[in-house]
Amino acid sequence: MLPIVAVTIGRFHISVRQFFAALFPAFFPDEDVPLTVHNVIFNIRLPRILLALLAGAGLSVAGAAFQALFSNPLATPDTLGVATGASFGAVLGILFKFPSWGIQLAALAAGIIAVILVYAVSRVRGSSSIIMIVLAGMVIGALFSALVSLIKYVADPQDVLPTITFWLLGSLSGTTKLTLLQGSPFIIAGTLLIFFLRWKLNLMTLNEDEAISLGVPVKRIRLLVILGATMITASVVSMCGLIGWVGLLIPHISRMIYGNNNKSVIPASIGLGALFMLFIDTLARSVSGTEIPVSILTSIIGAPFFIILLRKTGGIQI
């Protein structure tokens, strides 16, 4: 129901009947859908709604996976510096005026480089512990954040800097069919990878030696989960900019409802994250005459709600 409502809401009003007539013209032979309405539905709102659903689902499932993998309730999709790495690639593409697909590729490449650097830094005597991975992620994330600030400093203040600043605030306003087709396969692939590994994520909360003694391929599962979350985060950042709170808030809500069993938490995070992001984006483009950046709304809504959750639960143990 929410996606249908989202299609009709906006500065250009579309009735529910017009939407279904445009989608299923054979069932509404008497309804004449103007070309403008048809273009708004299929070229603007549907691609944006699909991206909101995919981005929310992806960021939420990546957050849930990281929280289980690192046994850390504060872990988010940018724990390994992926988000800041991808944002550096994207702003670099904006600085050099890359086309949209070039910006996406630059963000994906930088996100992957960030993960490689994290793994390289965290390896001590041929192995990587969870603590070292998290610490290395914080360091690499800080490094890429500084590089983003450097690009903002050297960017043209009249032309490029406003574009970079607005993009970093997070927005789905630039969504097109092409950008959706280019970025969605990575989000879908990463989400499916984590979804199929959700059974084994329960075992990853055990001590590493205990998990290995049970025959769990700890290193391989860890690598696959990180790979899936990297694909999701880098792709979302390349298309939407930096969007916070979704990967932290939604997994906690899922655990409040379903407990700590990732068999249920991962699917719940996918569904709740998709609906939450769609709600936020619909609010962002319709609550005022000018569009509000998505990350501002996720923070305004997410922070107080998270405080309420903490006050009621006293914190969720993973």
Total structural domains within the chain? 1
List, for residues 138-169, the tens digit of each pLDDT value: 899 899 999 999 999 988 888 888 888 888 88
Question: What gap in Å lies between CA 194 and CA 259, rounded to an integer?
Answer: 18
**Quick one: the chain helix, strand, coil %, rounded to 5?**
75, 0, 25
pLDDT digits (tens, 9 = 90+) for 279-296: 999 998 888 778 888 988
Domain presence at residue 239: yes
SS3 127: strand
Span 49-60, pLDDT tens digits: 999 999 999 999
3-state secondary structure of 124: strand
Q: What is the distance between the alpha carbons of residues 28 and 229, in angstroms, rounded to a whole number?
A: 43
At residue 206, does pLDDT exceed 80? no
- Does 273 map to a domain? yes
Please give the share of the chain, as a percent, with pLDDT higher than 90: 24
Distance, CA of 244 to CA of 242 (rounded, Å) = 6
What is the percent of the chain where pLDDT is above 70? 94
Question: Per the domain annotation, does 318 fall within a domain?
Answer: no
In a domain, 253, yes or no: yes
Residue tagged 């599962």 (tokens): 221
Residue 8 CA: distances (Å) to CA of 19, 20, 114, 175: 7, 11, 40, 17
Residue 111 and residue 231: Cα distance in Å, rounded?
Answer: 8
Which CATH number characterizes residue 115's domain?
1.10.3470.10
Answer whether 268's CB lies under 8 Å from 254's CB: yes
Whether 209 shows a pLDDT value over 90: the answer reads no
Top pLDDT among 208 and 114 is at 114
Structural domain that includes position 183: 2-313
- For the record, the structure tokens of 202 come out as 């329960």
**Residue 54: predicted pLDDT:** 96
pLDDT number for residue 158: 84
